[in-house]
Amino acid sequence: MTELERAQQKEIARLREENRLLRQKVDLLVRQLFGARSERLDPGQLELLLRDSDPGESGEGPGLGKAGAPATGVLEEEDAGEEPGATRQGRKRGLRPARLPEHLPVVEEVIEPGPVQACPEAWRKIGEEVSEQLDYEPGRFLRRRTVRPKYVRRCEREAPPIIAPLPGKLIEGGLAAPGLLTQIVISKYADHVPLYRQEQIYRQRHGVEIPRQNMERWIGAVADWLRPIYGRMRQEMFSGSYLQADETPIRYLEPGAGKTQQGYLWVYRVPGGGDTLFDWHPGRGHQCLEAMVPESFAGTLQCDGYGAYRTFAAKRGGQVELAGCWAHVRRKFYEAWRAGESKPRSGWVLRQIKLLYRIERKLRQSRAGPRLRQAIRSSQSRMIAARLQRALFRFKTSRRHKPLPQSLMGKAIDYALGQWPAITAFLEDGRIEIDNNLVENAIRPTAVGKKNWLFIGAEEAGWRGAVIYSIIESCRNHGIDPHAYLKDVLTRLPSMTNWRIKDLTPRAWAAAASTATAEVSALQRAS
């Protein structure tokens, strides 16, 4: 074979490999767009795959026996192969007998037999049969009329009359009462109903004409009133030393051009019952983090592998430590496994990550505190992580089956090893979660909304959405109804001073409601 022919063969092999990698990327993109979103693995299929194929060079993977079983002493109980972060309630979904909530008001209808109605004195009641159904009545509009009588003294007719002062309003001279403002805000930001659809609903079902332009102005006024509460929540959040962060793209309308541009909602959350804060920026650089996170913050920021977080941490001079996310690591190996690339090895890695999540599930079920979580992780999770790190180095440097750097398996290994100090930070601090799923779950409502209203409007509408989303998601975190919270707060805000804003955050409101409920229960038991 001539030198030219050898060069041609080498070029053909290179082009074939490049074509294979490109097809792999296209297949992955198609699955992401049109395929199933669940990353759940069939444990039977994975066990069959790993039964006779071990990922190590010598025929056995690090820490595994010949059947791919985990090393002894890690955990004894086998779980059902749930995906990371799945809850027990989510795994046991199914048909359950419906129960009527006891707190609902009762509308009673008594149906008397025809003969009894004709001659009631001839009959004696000996019992009754009761059946119940769950019913619903749609919301209704009403005219809230405020009447302020004027008075003059009988003995001083020349004195000026007196009248009670008009209660403060969110919008001076406006028609919208707090209840209507709450309904519009909740419909748009919690139920994801665009304003044009709300306009149609109110006109067609209730005969009330409310132009969407008016509703947009009202939402802006509500956001202005809620901004001090948002500021108080921000102050409380960054006074701690641990939070999670993520960002999500969202389109906004470019003024004057009639085109949409890409903006971003940055999301921050404190695990363990804390608040959720959204922050709006038209970009995605580290400057967004610097603008939101005060310089006084010192602690751990949990995030994915996006470079802006590393730049931000470097600029803070070691004041901020980064913690990684095992869900992102798992997702990359799952993509390689699903594409059929290095299945024995990618399947083995997924099995090891599953062991880590099984330990975390047990800790959640036992409601372990930070100290106990750190102790259990040191005795059980640390050895799994060390075994996994050794295996990844072996895969990367293998001579026989070394994955290509641009392959899915190669990218997954490089990502995991590059993030290793960050993704193992949870082993050193019991407060830190194993992944960033809590803050990613907080982003989901915005993803649903984007499918309905497509873009948020002009750029200045971004911070309005950030303020309202922060309030609604924080209400959900604290287990309170955002509709009840907003209606109460919007009613009280016009007559409150700034120093009382601390009593209106979702955390404070939930604590006050819990105290009031406990007092009522105590009075009922005493009576």
Q: What is the pLDDT along the chain (527 residues), one digit of tens a residue?
A: 788 777 878 788 778 777 777 777 777 677 666 666 566 665 555 554 445 444 544 443 444 443 344 333 333 333 434 444 444 454 445 555 557 788 888 889 888 899 989 998 999 988 888 888 887 777 888 888 889 898 888 888 788 889 998 888 888 778 889 999 999 999 999 998 989 999 999 999 989 999 999 999 999 999 999 999 999 999 999 999 999 999 988 888 766 666 778 889 999 999 887 899 999 988 889 999 999 999 999 999 999 989 999 999 999 988 999 999 999 999 999 998 988 877 889 999 999 999 999 999 999 999 999 999 999 999 999 999 999 999 999 998 887 778 888 889 999 999 999 999 999 999 999 999 999 999 988 888 777 777 666 667 666 778 888 999 999 999 999 999 999 999 999 999 998 888 889 999 999 999 999 888 888 888 878 87
Domain-located, residue 191: no
Whether the pTM exceeds 0.85: the reply is no
Angstrom distance (rounded) from CA 170 to CA 172: 6
Clarify whether residues 452 and 308 are in a common domain.
Answer: yes
Question: Are 333 and 391 within one domain?
Answer: yes
316, 337: one domain: no
Torsion over CA of 332, 338, 344 and 345, rounded to 10 degrees? -10
Report CA-CA distances (Å) from 154 to 148, 151, 299, 399, 472. 19, 9, 70, 106, 52
What are 144's two structure tokens?
Answer: 């809230």
Domain end, chosen from 427, 446, 468, is at 427
Question: For residues 272 and 435, what is the distance between their CA atoms, to the nearest angstrom?
Answer: 14
pLDDT at 47: 53
447 and 312 both lie in a single domain: yes
Neighbours of 321 (CB within 10 A): 20
398 domain residue, yes or no: yes
In a domain, 291, yes or no: yes
Q: Which of 380, 409, 427 represents a domain boundary (last residue)?
A: 427
335 shares a domain with 316? no
Residues 278 and 304 in one domain: yes
pLDDT score of 73: 35
Residue 133 maps to a domain:
no
Residues 439 and 199: beta-carbon distance below 8 Å: no
Both 316 and 445 in one domain: the answer is yes
- Domain shared by 251 and 385, yes or no: no
CB 38 within 8 A of CB 55: no
Domain co-membership, 466 together with 376 = no
Instruction: Quote the strand ranges of 49-182, DSSP E.
Output: 150-151, 162-163
Decide if 455 is inside a domain: yes
Q: Within this chain, do residues 414 and 502 fall inside the same structural domain, yes or no?
A: no
Extended strands (E) in 232-351:
242-253, 260-269, 276-281, 299-302, 320-323
DSSP 380: I
Question: What pLDDT is stored for residue 64 in this prediction?
Answer: 42
Kindly state whether residues 341 and 317 are assigned to the same domain: no
Domain of 358 in residue numbering reads as 326-427
- On whether residue 41 sits in a domain, the answer given is no
Residue 229 lies in a domain: yes
Domain boundary residue, one of 379, 404, 427: 427
291/332 same-domain check: no
- The total of other beta-carbon atoms located within 10 Å of residue 37's CB is 6
pLDDT of residue 229: 96
Residue 401 is predicted with a pLDDT of 78
Report which of 242, 247, 303 is spatially closest to residue 274, judged by C-alpha positions. Answer: 242
Residue 18 located in a structural domain? no
Tally of domains within the chain: 2
